[in-house]
Chain A
Amino acid sequence: MATIAQPGYDEPRRPNIATANVQLPAVRDYEQVDDEILATLVPTKKWFGLLFVAIVFLMVGISSWMYQIHEGLGVAGYNPPVMWGVYIITFVFWVGIGHAGTLISAILYLFRAGFRTTIYRCAEAMTVFAVMTAGLFPIIHIGRPWKFFWLIPYPNWRLLWPQFKSPLVWDVFAISTYLTISTTFLFIGLIPDIATLRDRCLNPVRKQILAALSFGWRNSEAEWRHFVRAYLFLAAFSTPLVLSVHSVVSFDFAMALTPGWHTTIFPPYFVAGAIFSGIGMVFTIIIPIRKFFKLQHYVTLNHLDAAAKLALFTSMVVGCAYIIEFFIAWYGGVKAEQEYFWNRVFGQWWWAAWIMLTCNMILPLSLFSQKLRRNPSWLWILSIFINLGMWFERFVIVVPSLSHEFEPWQWTSYAPTWVDYGILLGSFGWFFMWFLLFIKQLPVLAISEIKEIVPPRMKHAAGGH
């Protein structure tokens, strides 16, 4: 919680370190916070335009999926033994995107990193919608989506239970827990802001809906006391959860004896990659939002600078993992493993590997420059490269391994079809449709938390407590 003592803010453009007192010098009082953030909820023509594009993309995805259900999985680009393709790649991609949201909202909350305050709501919403998107892909991938419930342990007349030693069942538990907890965390944080919206709302029907969603929140000191405690525990649960979820996703690969997959480095490698890709998506989303809604004095250059340092750090962790993979292949002396890695970078899949290395290892090194870290246009362009690079990272993990296993007669190729691309495009439509609807219904910046870092009005001169 905030205190009365607020140090003066003398150099607005000075880069900050992650500190609990990140000031917003252009924000005077609580009323300004309400007025400016609630003003973002008014729909505009640009917003309708973007929503239309997102829905068109979604329709393309739904049509492609319907076609696949009708015709069978053969219309996707699977080419045995490459029986994991775009759907699993995109599943891992979207799960990864979700991770930065939890890092920013939960882990940085526990570390009292002040720069998270203005970006965490966006990141949290991104997490929920990204995991919602990711969850669709195993269902699409199994080909018979109506059988999906077989993975859930429930009492049934056949007395059958899932195989609890299978990584696919671990995934079901990890992803469904993650979606539930992320949604709960987002919604609990929203309750006080929904109450603010309720109190300012003039439309009686909308006011009733907001009153129900805010559960009759009154901003009493007792409510805040329990809220702060519960929020802390939710953050404490979310922190190991976010580390576990992508570790479990990595087990889908690491438990197999396939070259390039069967390695103990996968859990930390996947977690770092997930956080890196998620920060990329945070930049993709938050930079246009701060520009179009004129929120530059909330999401300041200091905040972007601090988030860019996180991106740089996770990029270097991921880069280190790429190099270690090659070292292990060489040092381990397993011929199939060595050939696989050679094939990955200099053989059949060189183009995918070099897109990955360029976007994830080389371009992010630009963030060593403070000038570029504080340049929103460059950060946005870089974020697109990071998104692209991280999708290709999963492509490089999935496809080259399956297409170049132990026996040469198994070696083959893989090319996605229009159905794969249609569903991939549809996933972006699905994600952005939810996100665009969210930003016009609920505050995209956390009103009550921002008020914590805005000095309250004082009758007498400010002092400590």
Chain B
Amino acid sequence: MMQGMLGAFRELDATVAAIEELKHKRVGEITVFTPTPRHELEHAMHPPKSPVRIYTLVGALSGVCFGYWIAIWSSEYWPLVVGGKAIASWIPYTIFGFEVMVLVGALSTVAGMFIHSRIPRLTLTVGYDPRFSHGDFGVWVACPPEKLADAEAILRHHGAVEVRGDR
């Protein structure tokens, strides 16, 4: 595990300023902690788009196929013959296609969120502090030992209320 420096901030704009300078100076890999999602932090971090939508699409398509398939297959497997009626009727089977699409699509979305957020997590790992779920913002910079001093200076310069090294 790479060493790093953690800065705890009381103010949002100070956090954003610290992130921007840390990124500009390429001090290390940054993880930001925030009690609530904020656009300002997202803009400062420039993260890639969340891939969760791929899981949603694949899950929904699989679900709709399975929903239609189970109804059609079982109707053909055990035919209930009624004169003039189709054995497998796609109109009512759309209900199964739709419901299973929603079910599998939604559960796949949750799976995608868990996989990319790397949860469930057994330990809270380095850099986390309980105050980040309360009211403070945190910036964790994972960097080689020779850049720790730079990281600390930047975090302090922007008004971090606490700066500490961690590994």
Taking the closest CB of chain B, its distance from the CB of A4, in whole angstroms, is 6
Contact B133 A4 (CB under 8 A): no
5 A-B pairs (CB sep. < 8 Å): A2-B36, A34-B135, A221-B45, A223-B117, A456-B11
**Interface range for A:** 35 or more
Q: Which residues 77-115 in B have Cβ within 8 Å of A in the complex?
A: 77-78, 80, 89, 92-93, 95-96, 98-100, 102-103, 105-107, 109-110, 112-114
> Which residue on B lies nearest to A460, using beta carbons?
B13
Partner of B123, one of A216, A219, A241: A216
Choose the segment among B20-28, B50-58, B148-156 that binds chain A (4+ C-beta atoms closer than 8 Å): B50-58
Partner of A229, one of B14, B53, B102, B132: B53
Taking the closest CB of chain B, its distance from the CB of A121, in whole angstroms, is 15
> Which residue on B lies nearest to A160, using beta carbons?
B78
> Which residue on A lies nearest to B128, using beta carbons?
A218
> Which residue on B lies nearest to A201, using beta carbons?
B130
- The distance in angstroms between the C-alpha atoms of A451 and B38, with both chains bound, is 10
Contact B33 A219 (CB under 8 A): yes
The answer to whether A29 has its CB under 8 Å from any CB of chain B is yes
Contact B37 A2 (CB under 8 A): yes
The answer to whether B124 has its CB under 8 Å from any CB of chain A is yes
> Which residue on A lies nearest to B86, using beta carbons?
A165
Apart from A229-B113, A234-B106: 11 A-B pairs, beta carbons within 8 A: A161-B77, A164-B93, A180-B106, A181-B103, A219-B34, A233-B109, A237-B109, A244-B98, A248-B95, A448-B36, A465-B40
Interface residues of A (CB under 8 A from B): 1-4, 29-31, 34, 153, 159-165, 170, 173-174, 177, 180-181, 184-185, 188, 192, 195-196, 198-200, 212, 215-230, 233-234, 237-238, 240-241, 244, 248, 448-449, 451-452, 456-460, 465
Contact A226 B80 (CB under 8 A): no
Partner of B33, one of A3, A163, A220, A230: A220
Partner of B102, one of A30, A237, A449: A237
Contact A237 B105 (CB under 8 A): yes
Residue numbers in B under 8 Å from A240 (CB-CB): 98, 102
Taking the closest CB of chain B, its distance from the CB of A375, in whole angstroms, is 32
Contact A181 B132 (CB under 8 A): no
Contact A458 B80 (CB under 8 A): no
Highest count of chain A CB atoms <10 Å: which of B32, B47, B50: B50
- The distance in angstroms between the C-alpha atoms of A258 and B35, with both chains bound, is 56
Contact B77 A229 (CB under 8 A): no
Contact A226 B50 (CB under 8 A): yes
The answer to whether B159 has its CB under 8 Å from any CB of chain A is yes
Contact A184 B52 (CB under 8 A): no
- The distance in angstroms between the C-alpha atoms of A173 and B68, with both chains bound, is 13
Partner of A230, one of B32, B75, B98, B112: B112
Residue numbers in B under 8 Å from A451 (CB-CB): 35-36
Number of B residues with CB within 8 Å of any CB on chain A:
66
- The distance in angstroms between the C-alpha atoms of A227 and B125, with both chains bound, is 19
The 8 A-B pairs at the shortest CB distance, nearest first, are namely A216-B121, A199-B130, A30-B135, A230-B113, A161-B74, A451-B36, A215-B120, A229-B50
- The distance in angstroms between the C-alpha atoms of A63 and B106, with both chains bound, is 38
Contact A465 B109 (CB under 8 A): no
Contact A224 B37 (CB under 8 A): yes
Contact B103 A180 (CB under 8 A): yes
Q: Given A173-B100, A229-B50, does the pair A234, B110 have CB atoms closer than 8 Å?
A: yes
Contact A174 B70 (CB under 8 A): no
- The distance in angstroms between the C-alpha atoms of A198 and B134, with both chains bound, is 11
Residue numbers in B under 8 Å from A448 (CB-CB): 35-37
Contact B50 A225 (CB under 8 A): yes
Residue numbers in A under 8 Å from B143 (CB-CB): none
Contact B123 A1 (CB under 8 A): no
Contact B132 A218 (CB under 8 A): yes
Taking the closest CB of chain A, its distance from the CB of B120, in whole angstroms, is 4
Residue numbers in B under 8 Å from A198 (CB-CB): 133
Partner of B134, one of A196, A456, A459: A196
Contact B119 A217 (CB under 8 A): yes
Residue numbers in B under 8 Å from A248 (CB-CB): 95
Highest count of chain B CB atoms <10 Å: which of A29, A31, A226, A244: A226
The answer to whether B61 has its CB under 8 Å from any CB of chain A is no
Contact A219 B117 (CB under 8 A): no
